[in-house]
Structure formats: C-alpha cells, structure tokens
Amino acid sequence: MTKIGYRFTRPRRLIFEVLEQHIKPVSTQDIFQFLKKRNKYIDLTSIYRTLDLMKKATIVNEIEFGDGKKRYELVKGKNHHHHLVCKNCGDVEDIEIREEKLMKALKIETDFKIEKHTLEFFGLCDKCK
Amino acid sequence: MTKIGYRFTRPRRLIFEVLEQHIKPVSTQDIFQFLKKRNKYIDLTSIYRTLDLMKKATIVNEIEFGDGKKRYELVKGKNHHHHLVCKNCGDVEDIEIREEKLMKALKIETDFKIEKHTLEFFGLCDKCK
DNA sequence: GTTTTTGCAAACTTTTTGCATGCGG
DNA sequence: CCGCATGCAAAAAGTTTGCAAAAAC
C-alpha cells in the first residue's frame, strides 16, 4: 500500500504566494512573469500542474473572460462572487450576488442536475466609459 | 471614393448553412469537419474570419464552455438565452431566463457600464446523472 | 478593373505530455 | 530510500497573420 500526499514544495509555495498577493485573477503567464521578474524561476509546466491541483482541491477558482486564456484566484478569503470586466482596460471588479435570490428568480426548469455556473459581466469601467 | 460592402460568397453561405443546421453551438472545427465530410472544403482560416465577421454583425453568438475553444450559434431564431452543459456527455440545452428579473435580483451596485454578460450552467444531464 | 475574399503557409499562444532527474518526508 | 514533483523538450490544439491568387460586383 502506498501513501498519497501532496508536498508543499518551493514552486507550490511561490505560486500560492503570488495568488495571495493578487486581488484580481491571474493567468499562468502572469504568475510566470511575476516570479521571473523577482528572479524566482519556475517552469510554466509546474504552474499549470499546480493550478490544476489547486483547482481540484478547491483552493483556486478558474475563470474565463473570453480572451482565450484562463485565470485563477484564491477561493479563501472571498465569498462566492462574479466579475465585472472592463472591455477597454481589462480592469476586474468583484461583485457579490445573493445566489439564492438569483436561482429563485431563474426558476430553472430542466432535467439537468446543475452543479455550478459561471456568470461574468462585461462593459466599461468608470474611467473608460 | 471607394465603396465598402460585404460579399455573400460560397464559403460564407456554406458556413451560414452549417449554423442553420445545428441547434447546438458549434466550434470552428465542427464546421470544418462537417463540411469536409460532405466534400465541401473550406479553409479553417476562412471559417475563423467569417465567424469573426458574423460576431461583429451580431449574426452569431460566441460562447465559451471552459474547454478552451469557442462555440458559435446563430442569433436569429432564438431568444436571448443561456446554456446548460453536461459535464459528462457534453450535451447542451438552452434555457431562457427573464433577464429583467435576473438583473433586478442582482441589484448590481457598480460604476461599470454593463454591456453584456455570460451565464452558463454546468452539471449532469438526465441521462448521465 | 478594382475591391473584397480566399487558400496556403507560417507563426503565435495557450496548454498538455513524456521522461529523466531531483527533492521531500 | 522511494514516490511524488520538477524542469526541459517537444508536441498538441486553437487561433492569427501576411500575402499572392482568385472571385465578386
């Protein structure tokens, strides 16, 4: 019988720290470049693998804003929320929504067993409009 | 002075027809393969360019289900709606939502000028659950 | 005939995979 | 030790770009 356990290694710690230091969701490249600038080189592959792991462990949220790359944010320290994305400058603002209210308003009639949803808003921020 | 106008060419017509024949959103590859099987070869590039054009002209909707590729569906013939995606078999079901109700329930307080939103649901369909 | 559109080749971006080496417990 | 994790190289998948040739009007 083999033991299973995750190790808290240098790359994982660094990635976690980067996530902690960012309020807005970050991409794999964001993390890579952020660390690189500080002379903390981690292979991109490890970033992908670590985020994948964190996603499965519900440590991070994976978000898509429609520009072909995924972004990640720490789950801890935040309530369930959605995002407002500025089409012009890319600024991201969190918005909290009363999900019960939302789901009640939706009154979805379906045979699907809904497990999760994504809801993102796009527009122009105060500065850009 | 030069004239500007779009031309209704063979590739564009074919792509439009493919979209008409599909209820569920299709990817660029879906369109490409569908036509290829019927010996109607169109370059993938043209598919990308045509869809881009159609998106700008609000002829198609661009949707993301989180699997790294974009999907398209005709706007015409459908009311504003969202999707239920089965995580297991990939089946897609449309759901209509009373947007006024939704937005009222949300009561979003923000400086953003919201122009659009995406809302997709993920879960298991009747067969897969 | 002139402008728009296409197909082809090539590049670019994001993400994934295989594998030998290396680190953690 | 020994298994899990890393870095590196390479590839896969989706998408974009430049350009000459072809099609539309």
Q: What is the pTM of this model?
A: 0.91
User: DSSP letter at A36?
Assistant: H
Question: pLDDT tens-digit profile of B25-60?
Answer: 999 999 999 999 999 999 999 999 999 999 999 999
**Cβ neighbours around B121 below 10 Å, total:** 20
3-state SS track over chain B: CCCCCCCCCHHHHHHHHHHHCCCCCECHHHHHHHHHHCCCCCCHHHHHHHHHHHHHCCCEEEEECCCCCEEEEECCCCCCEEEEEECCCCCEEEEECCHHHHHHHHCCCCCCEEEEEEEEEEEECCCCC
Q: Are residues B119 and A114, on separate chains, in Cβ contact within 8 Å?
A: no
Give the pLDDT of residue B39: 96
Give the pLDDT of residue B110: 83
Residues in chain B, overall count: 129
Please report which confidence band the pLDDT of residue B129 belongs to, taking 50, 70 and 90 as the band edges: confident
Q: Show me where the domains of chain A are located.
A: 2-74, 82-123
CA–CA gap between residue A68 and residue A70 (Å, rounded)? 7
∠ at Cα A72 (A34, B123), nearest 5°? Answer: 165
| Residue A64 counted as an annotated binding residue | no
Q: Return residues 81-110 of A near B (CB < 8 Å).
A: 84, 86-87, 93, 95, 97-98, 101-102, 104-106, 108, 110
Distance from CA of B2 to the nearest CA of A (A): 31
Domains A2-74 and A82-123 share a fold: no
CA–CA gap between residue A128 and residue A89 (Å, rounded)? 7
Q: Which nucleotide is nearest to A8 (CA to C1')?
A: C24
Q: Amino acid identity, residue B1? A: M
Give the pLDDT of residue B84: 94
Give the pLDDT of residue A2: 41
Range A76-101 average pLDDT:
87
- pLDDT > 60? residue A106: yes
What percentage of chain B reaches a pLDDT higher than 90?
A: 73
Question: pLDDT tens-digit profile of B65-102?
Answer: 999 999 999 999 888 899 999 998 999 999 987 777 66
Q: Which nucleotide is nearest to B43 (CA to C1')?
A: C7
Give the pLDDT of residue A104: 66
Question: pLDDT tens-digit profile of A3-32?
Answer: 446 889 999 999 999 999 999 999 999 999
- pLDDT > 70? residue B122: yes
CA–CA gap between residue A83 and residue A67 (Å, rounded)? 15
Q: Amino acid identity, residue B51? A: L
Find the Å distance, CA of residue A28 to C1' of nucleotide D16: 21
Check CB contact of B125 with chain A, cutoff 8 Å.
yes
CA–CA gap between residue A98 and residue A80 (Å, rounded)? 9
Sequence-distant (6+) residues with CB within 8 A of B72 are: B19, B25, B26, B27, B51, B54, B55, B60, B61, B62, B63
- pLDDT > 70? residue B106: no
- pLDDT > 70? residue A108: no
CATH C-level class of B2-74: mainly alpha
| Residue A99 counted as an annotated binding residue | no
Range A93-101 average pLDDT:
81
Q: Which residues pair with A60 in a beta bridge?
A: A74
Q: Are A117 and B102 in contact (CB under 8 A)?
A: no
Q: Return residues 13-52 of B near A (CB < 8 Å).
A: none
Range A19-48 average pLDDT:
96
Give the pLDDT of residue B3: 52
Chain mean pLDDT for chain B: 90
Give the pLDDT of residue A1: 38
Distance from CA of A114 to the nearest CA of B (A): 4
Range A87-104 average pLDDT:
82
Distance from CA of B12 to the nearest CA of A (A): 24
Nearest to B35 by CA among B25, B24, B21: B21
CATH homologous superfamily of B82-123 equals Ferric-uptake regulator, C-terminal dimerisarion domain (3.30.1490.190)
On chain A, the residues whose CB falls within 8 A of the CB of B120 are 117-118
- Which region among A18-32, A48-62, A99-113 has the lowest average model confidence (pLDDT)? A99-113
Give the pLDDT of residue B107: 61
Half-sphere exposure of B96 (CA within 13 A, CB side): 4
Q: Are B58 and B41 in contact (CB under 8 A)?
A: no
Range A80-104 average pLDDT:
85
